[in-house]
A and B are shown apart, each in its own frame.
Chain A
Amino acid sequence: MDQEAAATGLAPGMPLADARALVPHLKTACADFSTDTAMLASLADWAMRYTPWSATDGDDGLILDVTGCAHLFGSEKNLLHDLAAQLSAHDLTARLALADTPAAAWAWARYGKSDILVANADAGAIKILPVAALRISTNDSLDLARLGLRHIADLAALPRAPLTARFGENLLNRLDQILGHSPEPLTLRRPPAPHRSRIAFPEPIGRREDIEAAFHHLLSDLCAHLEADDLGTRKLAYTAYGVDATAQRTSIGAAAPSRDADHLARLFQDRLDRIDPGFGLESFTLDAVTIETLVPKQIPLVGKRNATTGLMQLVDRLQTRLGASAVVELRPVDSHIPERAVMMTPAFAQTGNHHGTDDWMAQQPRPIRLLPCPELIDVVAPVPDNPPLVFHWRKVSHRVARSEGPERIAPEWWLRKENHQVRDYYWLEDSAGRRFWVYRDGPFSPGGLPRWYLHGLFA
């Protein structure tokens, strides 16, 4: 609700008919809550220029924990004035409060007299606020008003036990939170990174070269910090803050902890193209989102270098461009079902729940290619249990010259369902010498036509 609307007497929660009576030429539109939420979230991201501890609060609030950040702007007052100026520059009407506890700031931002407060909870400013500022239900605040308890100060003066008996624990809990007697943890939008470096420019920048230069500056700074602490990062996030209060975040992951600036920069190569400068970018942050201990290793002077590092860096580059699931390793699984015997896991991913042997279960010949979905084929085969003589696959007819089988593979009993049947696998060689792996789905039954599938190709 902006000031102009407030001046006409409109208020949030007002019935539409009343509002129309007050302002006859009122234009109405349906509320778009998802856009509002997204807008608030992007505002919370943008507010990370003040502090990494930023969170959304309800439908219309932001909570920033500026502990230890205010001195960067001169003082708490300067920070608030800067924030107010930035918000009004973007046509956002805001009420700001800075207090010792989140509850006090919340209360003053909604019920305080002036727009901006920099105050201690003890100073008494909070205590003159109405009890509704305690974030209690409307019923409770009405009940309190009926008892003559209109201000927080009235409540604070009363003995606690009768209050708890009458209104429950929540009221006193809220009172303690606003006065700073009990803590109130915040649910952060993004947990602050353990290591971060930030750069801000007096003038907004927009050229790709500048964005890259800023990135390299931040990266070398961050890597130096990581090296000093014997740490490496597995996930890095680069955030660009635009002049139009937008925040663009792009991140990369690494298979192994690293603080190799060249390697990390290569992973970001394509990502930097995706940053849209828009009207200009005014500051950047680089966060090491996950860090791990990385003790420096002695490089052997003579002999072979460590092959795993090069390989992991290659996997990182491939995964960054193609996606984590696009670079996989094959792991054996204890199962006789052909398609279940192999598990594809992202390369170098630590899979704790890997069980089974380290070798393939099958002793019988297996194809080198497996079709992800077995393909239905038309078959001429003598009944009951003979291999096919002729089969049609992908519109081509193959005459079987030699065959071997069957190898019967039964479904695992705990998976027994309608669509899991016993399969009889045959190895077939056609007249041209091509080798196929086909199976008959289910045992032969008189009267019913068995269905045949092609499942793999042999070398």
Chain B
Amino acid sequence: MWINTKSFASKAAPPAQARAAIKAELRREIYRLERTGRALEKTALSSGCRALDAALPWQGLPQGGLHIVQGKPEDGATYGFAGALAGRMRVGNGVIAWIQYGRDHQEAGVPYGPGLGPLGLNTRRLLLVKARRAVDLLWSMEEALRCPDLAVVIGEGVAPNLTAARRLQLAAETGGTTALLIPPPDSTPCAPALTCWRVTAAPAAAATLPPRCPAWNVELVRCRGGKSGQWRMEWQHETFHFNLVAPLAHGPLAAAS
């Protein structure tokens, strides 16, 4: 790798602002040289939350890569956050494929049409796929990711090994599609993903009584080329964007009552 260092060397210590700009420029150059730099060729999509966008090195949610969303067992928050991410990353009228194990249907439930609309998912542009074995699930994810006519592919219930995860990442790069993986709750995937999130449910804000605006504790566990972080976020079901929630002064409502 050859980077033009001469121009920097000739100057004496640049001011802090310029130094930051140079760093950002260098970082972007390195991304471009790396294979995952392809993610930069497509514009990153804004999450609708400024703090979240700023924390990600792509200034938004990058397309054409693998993202992992971890959660607790029997928690709707995991699927809610993954669905909301998919809703944000769906460009135009793109189709979303949701791939699930057949055996998980009773355990984790099946995606329910009337409830998906508020997450920004158009159920008329949604394919549900049921796989019987892990091999079939990963194969269908790869096939779907290679199809450029899809926007997002969500796979759940499987913890791929390094090779399988790398294949998913490559397939996503080839098709320019986004892969969202929800591994089983007790697994620790160490996949070459662009981002890795951990989601738990959070008590909804006091003002919203019916479950229309779900709140989540979102932790960015790992991010390629970025820092980890933690936020409490709320999903706006009318405008389809994430909001930061300010913590309540006296702790959550549940603890107070």
Q: Which residues does A use to contact B, with CB under 8 Å?
A: 307-308, 310-311, 313-315, 317-318, 321-322, 325-330, 332, 338, 341-342, 344, 347, 358, 360-362, 364-373, 393-394, 396, 401-402, 404, 427, 429-436, 456-459
Contact between chains at A459 and B109 (CB < 8 Å) = no
* Interface secondary structure of B, over-half rule: mixed
Closest-by-CB residue of B relative to A459 is B80
Closest-by-CB residue of B relative to A430 is B254
Total of A-B residue pairs, C-beta within 8 Å: 187
Q: Which residues of A contact B118 (CB under 8 A)?
A: 365, 459
**Contact pick for B127, options A329, A365, A402, A431, CB 8 Å:** A329
Q: Which residues of B contact A456 (CB under 8 A)?
A: 109, 112, 115
B77 contacts A by Cβ under 8 Å: yes
Distance in angstroms from A377 CB to nearest chain B CB is 12
* Interface secondary structure of A, over-half rule: mixed
B22 contacts A by Cβ under 8 Å: no
Binds A, one of B2-10, B13-21, B196-204: B196-204
Contact between chains at A433 and B113 (CB < 8 Å) = no
Contact between chains at A459 and B127 (CB < 8 Å) = no
B interface size (C-beta, 8 A): 61
**Hey, what's the 0/1 contact readout for B239-257 against A, CB within 8 Å counting as 1?**
0000000000000111101
30 A-B pairs whose Cβ atoms sit less than 8 Å apart in the complex = A311-B150, A314-B144, A314-B147, A314-B149, A318-B140, A322-B131, A329-B124, A332-B114, A365-B212, A367-B112, A368-B76, A368-B80, A369-B115, A370-B110, A372-B109, A401-B203, A402-B253, A404-B209, A429-B203, A429-B211, A432-B200, A432-B201, A434-B75, A434-B77, A436-B76, A456-B109, A458-B76, A458-B115, A459-B80, A459-B211
Contact between chains at B114 and A360 (CB < 8 Å) = yes
Distance in angstroms from A406 CB to nearest chain B CB is 13
Q: Which residues of B contact A365 (CB under 8 A)?
A: 115, 118, 210-212
Contact between chains at B147 and A435 (CB < 8 Å) = no
Closest-by-CB residue of B relative to A341 is B114
- CA–CA, A307 to B151, complex, Å? 11
Q: Which residues of A contact B123 (CB under 8 A)?
A: 329-330, 332, 360
Distance in angstroms from B139 CB to nearest chain A CB is 7
Knowing A310-B147, A327-B127, the reply to whether A435 touches B76 (Cβ < 8 A) is: yes
Distance in angstroms from B247 CB to nearest chain A CB is 13
Q: Which residues of A contact B116 (CB under 8 A)?
A: 368
Contact between chains at A459 and B110 (CB < 8 Å) = no
B227 contacts A by Cβ under 8 Å: no
Q: Which residues of A contact B235 (CB under 8 A)?
A: 459
B128 contacts A by Cβ under 8 Å: yes
B224 contacts A by Cβ under 8 Å: no
B148 contacts A by Cβ under 8 Å: yes
Distance in angstroms from A76 CB to nearest chain B CB is 51
Contact between chains at B131 and A326 (CB < 8 Å) = yes
Q: Which residues of B contact A329 (CB under 8 A)?
A: 123-124, 126-128
Distance in angstroms from B114 CB to nearest chain A CB is 4
Distance in angstroms from A379 CB to nearest chain B CB is 17
Closest-by-CB residue of A relative to B102 is A326
List of 7 A-B pairs having minimum Cβ-Cβ separation, nearest first: A459-B80, A369-B109, A457-B76, A401-B254, A433-B201, A370-B112, A366-B114
Q: Which residues of A contact B132 (CB under 8 A)?
A: 322, 326
Distance in angstroms from B21 CB to nearest chain A CB is 37
- CA–CA, A100 to B212, complex, Å? 77
Residues 203 to 249 of chain B near chain A (Cβ within 8 Å): 203-204, 209-212, 214-215, 217, 235
**Hey, what's the 0/1 contact readout for B103-143 against A, CB within 8 Å counting as 1?**
00110111111111111000110111111100010011001
Knowing A330-B123, A368-B80, A394-B74, the reply to whether A322 touches B130 (Cβ < 8 A) is: yes
Q: Which residues of A contact B113 (CB under 8 A)?
A: 330, 332, 341-342, 360
- CA–CA, A361 to B123, complex, Å? 13
Closest-by-CB residue of B relative to A455 is B109
- CA–CA, A420 to B235, complex, Å? 35
